[in-house]
Structure 1
Amino acid sequence: MGTIDQHSMDQLQYVTELTDRIKAKSSPEANSEALEDSAEYVRFFPTFIWALRDFTLQLKLNGQPCTEDEYLENTLKLKKGNSQKVQLFNLPRECIRLFFPSRKCFIFKQPTNGNNLHRLEDMKESELESEFVQQALQFCRHVYKTSKPKTIPGGHIVTGRMLANLVETYVDTIRSGGVPCMETAKLALAQIENSAAVMEATMRYTELMEQKLEQPTDTFHDLLVIHAKCEDEALQVFMARAFKDDKQRFQAELRRALDQKKEVYCQKNQLKSSKRCKDVLVQLSREVEERKNKAFYSRPGGYHDYLNDMKTVAVRYHQESGKGVMADTELQEFCKNKEDVGRAILQSDEALTEKEKEAADAKARAEEAERKNEIQQLQTADLEQALKYQKQSYEAYIQYLKENLEKDQEKLLEEQNKMLESKLQVTVSGKA
């Protein structure tokens, strides 16, 4: 209220105790010389605005008009001398100058005349003094334009959720008789946020994979493509929330979690595919089973009929869509399970000579070996694809780390520049 006088300064006594109430770093020696260490606090302290209500003086210095900011800076001038009285006078001013290099002053005339003050809360803006309204608008514009989001050391923006966690950390420290430390609080907050970031990213990956794997993929390659896209989005979710993960412990934890999830989805994908393939094969081989049960193939020429019917089943099976990654494996398993049936029919076929039976049996074994070789080649190709995508995933991961590191370095450089500007301003002001 009114002007800036010694009483106003005395009311800001807490400013002189800031370094007793909060520490910037955890090491005791880092905070031993509070005023000389003020640049550390400048990194995360807000800007300083002194608003003067019902200001009645004319803004003049040495008989000359001055601005509100010049008026403020004049009141913050230090007296020369070392007496206790001078020290008490200088201390709050010195603290404000050191801790808040960015300062602003606004004055407000009385919003209305004394007769209307009792109904001030009910008055419309049009009824207020026009000069007061204009001053209030200038104040609001300045706040909206210059105010930056709250940050912690490292330039990390504090969200509402993070602020709540910080408050809990500070209160717990104060209740235990300690002094809140920004560095320690940041580490504790990083632990909370990074753990939550891993969980959030993993949940996002799970959500996306569930959406995209409602049906089994046709190939293992298709599954890896889906995994890579979901992993990339999960990594973005993690990077958007995580910070201060200098040793990449939480990033490594996320990668392990996603790798484990990928294996689970590979198994789920295979199970869905296997069920689909077995259902198709049961349906397509139903007529063959009925003929076998009725001894249709137990006659001369029955073996050739059986082979033709089985080939028809295989052709129709290949024409079916949506069988998934286990299509070839399940067909091989199906054919293997029918080998004994085929051999029994072959041996009972009186139309074939022993030599023809031996040749047919050898051919069947050769086809079986060929199928196994094809499956082996497919498995090898799948492994190569997995290694390829693992490499691509690792490269994308490294790129994210690089970008994140560059952002952190930019924030750190910005903080350092702010600290240097503060020290320079204090040095120049001291010489003046």
Structure 2
Amino acid sequence: MSCSKCMPAPVCLIENNENGKLCVRKEAKDILDGISEPVVVVSVVGLYRTGKSYLMNRLAGQQSGFALGNTIESKTKGIWMWCVPHPNKEGHTLVLLDTEGLGDVQKGDSKNDSWIFCLAVLLSSTLVYNSRGTIDNTALENLHYVTELTEQIKIRSAEAADEDEGEDSEFVRFFPSFIWVVRDFTLDLEINGKKVTEDDYLEHALQLKKGLNKKISDYNLPRQCIKRYFPSRKCFVFPLPVDSQKDMTRLESLRDQDLAQQFLEVTGHFCNHMFVNSAVKTLKGGHIVTGQMLRRLVEIYVDTISSGEVPCLDNAVHVLANLENQAAVREALQVYQNGMKEVKSMLPVSIENMTCEHQKFSNLATSEFTKRSFKDENKEYMKNLEEAVGNFYVDLLEENEMASERKCRDLLKDLFSEMNKRLQDGEYSQPGGYELYERDRDANVEQYRREPNKGVRAEAVLEEFLKERKPEANSILCMDNKLTENEKQIKKGKEKEALLEQKSKEEEEKRIECERMMEAENARHEDRVKQLEEKFKKEQEQQQQELDRAIQSKLKVHEEMLKKGFKDEADSLKEEINKLNDEKKNLQGGNFFKDYVMPFLSVVRRFNNKRSL
């Protein structure tokens, strides 16, 4: 997909329908369906009229696109999407999501705001929170949506959840990176008279207070949530872009030379950081998300919210995995069937040709499947693919045998047509007729064997054909008055020996065919195991990255809690870190053959048994 051609401007991804419920727009779904490559998803949230859309236009490399608006009315409704080729990551798409402004007084629906914020968190790999002025207590109170996430996002389904354990401790494993953008910042970056960085400014604003009363708890809550839910934090402070209020309302039409130099510099730093550091969107388990998967994910979450349920990461991954794995089986089987079409059009073919093409295209099918599939528990979908490929191959083998039989019978019919005429004319019913019959028959058999491309049933059909004509040969032999009874007995013995020899050739043909098929199947199995091992290692690596990211984030907060004297919080974090380290050890101890290969061998055995029948 060429995103620039398909999306010259943003489209609405999620809107509020006439009933006030969220729904996904078909146009946006179709666009995501056309993106088979990994996506980096950046969402921007914040209070309405804080200039969110301007930043997203800049990330898209455009001056305009997302509606900026120049009045107190919020221009962005729902969530709008713009997909563009990623400027730094070849083969990736940058998906920009501009969300409806939070706190729009015209809506009067705080629940809608909460769900918009929740969806931005669930869908993005980087979440940008946009505010104006300073990061003070008021600004953090305006970010109360982050404190509501425990009620709006579940990690595990109700059946699997441990009631004694707070799921929010696991948010850091699956949540996006967090970037706070402060617009129209006019203060000096100083704390206690010392110059500080933008990140220091954010961390200072997120410091907790000691104490147990409600006022302090309310003060600490949004700060604790930001620290513990998001794996990394960063801050950018933007100065005023222009001097006059009039120019502030028309940023979209201003050229770069009309904007403040420092504002342009910060904008450049912000965009560069996003392009370099924004990660590819992943699911629980570290599975990389493509545009097609993102489309399904959007539908799953929006449908769940619209039904009055709370989005659950485990459920979403389970549903998405089933849908993706079904699609992966269909696509992989299509790759195999399309590849074997040429073979099918050329039947009959030799067993060497058949097994070679089967091995090639079944390996391609496996490769295609492993690219798209994920969380294939017990390798059920891999087994489904193997069975479907095996059934298609068995049917093709049968078709090849039938085609070979038809061709061989037609060939024998043509070759023996002259002999049949001689037989009808009585040329073999006279003294010396058997010798003439034997000579013509052997010449035809020799000619038959010289004919190429007869397929896998060549010797078997010949044996059946000669057996069918044996009474005819015996009759001619008996009528040949030129031969003595002793000579006739010798000839009969030779006829029997010839048929036995032909039977032996048919059995040898079957043995060679079977050996070649087994050799090809063994080579195919080795290649398949190799592909599965690569998939296993990749999934292990993805899960390890997910765990490492969570551990590093919690270690950072743990160290900070110890320094500030929050012992109870530090002890709680230490337990969470130990649990993650234990999970990491268990992950490293995963058994490839037990988890990946063994569930698969039963299908191979079933296929081999079916083929031998």
Q: How far did 1:156 drift?
A: 0.3
Residue 79 of structure 1, aligned match among 198, 201, 209: 209
- 1:50 is aligned to 180
Q: How far did 1:410 drift?
A: 1.9
| Alpha carbons of structure 1 residues 284 and 113: separation in structure 2 relative to 1, 3 Å | farther
How far does the alpha carbon of each residue in 1:43-77 deviate from its partner, in whole angstroms, 9 at most, with x for none? 11110011122222222222222221111111111
What is the correspondence of 1:228-307 to structure 2 with a 5 Å cutoff? 228-307=359-438
Question: How high is the TM-score relative to the length of structure 2?
Answer: 0.66
Alignment partner of 1:105 is 2:239: no
Compare 127-136 and 92-101 and name the one that shifted more.
Answer: 127-136
* 8 Å Cα contact 1:239-1:404 kept in structure 2: yes
User: Which structure 2 segments of 5+ residues have no match?
Assistant: 1-131, 564-613
Q: How far did 1:31 drift?
A: 6.4
Q: Distance between the aligned counterparts of 2:450 and 2:508, measured in 1?
A: 22
Percent of aligned pairs with the same amino acid: 38
Instruction: State the AA in 2 paired with 1:106.
Output: F
Q: Distance between the aligned counterparts of 2:169 and 2:413, measured in 1?
A: 77
* 8 Å Cα contact 2:173-2:549 kept in structure 1: yes
Instruction: State the AA in 2 paired with 1:178.
Output: E
Q: How far did 1:176 drift?
A: 4.0
SS of alignment partner, residue 105 of structure 1: strand
How far does the alpha carbon of each residue in 1:220-268 deviate from its partner, in whole angstroms, 9 at most, with x for none? 3442232222221111111112221232222222222222122111112
Higher helix share: 1
Q: Distance between the aligned counterparts of 1:203 and 1:55, measured in 2?
A: 57
Q: How far did 1:334 drift?
A: 2.4
Residue 153 of structure 1, aligned match among 284, 287, 290: 284
Q: CA-atom RMSD, angstroms? A: 2.3
Q: How far did 1:368 drift?
A: 1.0
Alignment partner of 1:193 is 2:324: yes
Q: Distance between the aligned counterparts of 2:404 and 2:198, measured in 1?
A: 76
- 2:193 is aligned to 63
Q: Distance between the aligned counterparts of 1:259 and 1:419, measured in 2?
A: 43
* 8 Å Cα contact 2:177-2:233 kept in structure 1: yes
Q: Distance between the aligned counterparts of 1:123 and 1:108, measured in 2?
A: 17
Compare 329-338 and 11-20 and name the one that shifted more.
Answer: 329-338
Q: Distance between the aligned counterparts of 1:308 and 1:124, measured in 2?
A: 98
Q: Distance between the aligned counterparts of 2:366 and 2:399, measured in 1?
A: 23
Instruction: State the AA in 1 paired with 2:235.
Output: C
Q: How far did 1:99 drift?
A: 0.8
Compare 79-88 and 69-78 and name the one that shifted more.
Answer: 79-88
User: Which structure 1 segments of 5+ residues have no match?
Assistant: none
SS of alignment partner, residue 151 of structure 1: coil
Q: Distance between the aligned counterparts of 2:522 and 2:470, measured in 1?
A: 41
Q: Distance between the aligned counterparts of 1:330 and 1:145, measured in 2?
A: 68
Question: How high is the TM-score relative to the length of structure 1?
Answer: 0.91
* 8 Å Cα contact 1:72-1:105 kept in structure 2: yes
Q: Distance between the aligned counterparts of 1:291 and 1:336, measured in 2?
A: 20
- 2:301 is aligned to 170
Q: How far did 1:98 drift?
A: 0.9
- 2:150 is aligned to 19
- 1:180 is aligned to 311
* 8 Å Cα contact 2:415-2:444 kept in structure 1: yes
Alignment partner of 1:88 is 2:212: no
Residue 411 of structure 1, aligned match among 519, 542, 554: 542
Count of aligned pairs between the two proteins = 430
| Alpha carbons of structure 1 residues 348 and 341: separation in structure 2 relative to 1, 3 Å | same
Q: Distance between the aligned counterparts of 1:38 and 1:316, measured in 2?
A: 81
Q: How far did 1:40 drift?
A: 1.4
How far does the alpha carbon of each residue in 1:190-212 deviate from its partner, in whole angstroms, 9 at most, with x for none? 22222222222222111112234
How far does the alpha carbon of each residue in 1:319-373 deviate from its partner, in whole angstroms, 9 at most, with x for none? 2222111221222222223223323332333332333233222211221121112
Instruction: State the AA in 1 paired with 2:252.
Output: E
* 8 Å Cα contact 1:48-1:104 kept in structure 2: yes
What is the correspondence of 1:385-396 to structure 2 with a 5 Å cutoff? 385-396=516-527
Alignment partner of 1:355 is 2:475: no
Compare 144-153 and 293-302 and name the one that shifted more.
Answer: 293-302
- 2:462 is aligned to 331
| Alpha carbons of structure 1 residues 129 and 376: separation in structure 2 relative to 1, 3 Å | same
Compare 379-388 and 296-305 and name the one that shifted more.
Answer: 379-388
Residue 40 of structure 1, aligned match among 158, 170, 178: 170
* 8 Å Cα contact 2:333-2:385 kept in structure 1: yes
SS of alignment partner, residue 180 of structure 2: strand
Instruction: State the AA in 1 paired with 2:178.
Output: F
| Alpha carbons of structure 1 residues 362 and 49: separation in structure 2 relative to 1, 3 Å | same
* 8 Å Cα contact 1:76-1:93 kept in structure 2: yes
* 8 Å Cα contact 1:273-1:327 kept in structure 2: yes
Compare 292-301 and 66-75 and name the one that shifted more.
Answer: 292-301
| Alpha carbons of structure 1 residues 125 and 315: separation in structure 2 relative to 1, 3 Å | farther
Q: Which has the higher contact order (CA 8 A, sep 6+)?
A: 1
Q: Distance between the aligned counterparts of 2:502 and 2:450, measured in 1?
A: 18
Compare 22-31 and 370-379 and name the one that shifted more.
Answer: 22-31
Q: Distance between the aligned counterparts of 2:208 and 2:443, measured in 1?
A: 101
- 1:130 is aligned to 261
Q: Work out which of the two has the higher radius of gyration on C-alpha atoms and give 1 or 2.
A: 1
- 2:11 is aligned to none
| Alpha carbons of structure 1 residues 134 and 212: separation in structure 2 relative to 1, 3 Å | farther
| Alpha carbons of structure 1 residues 62 and 139: separation in structure 2 relative to 1, 3 Å | same
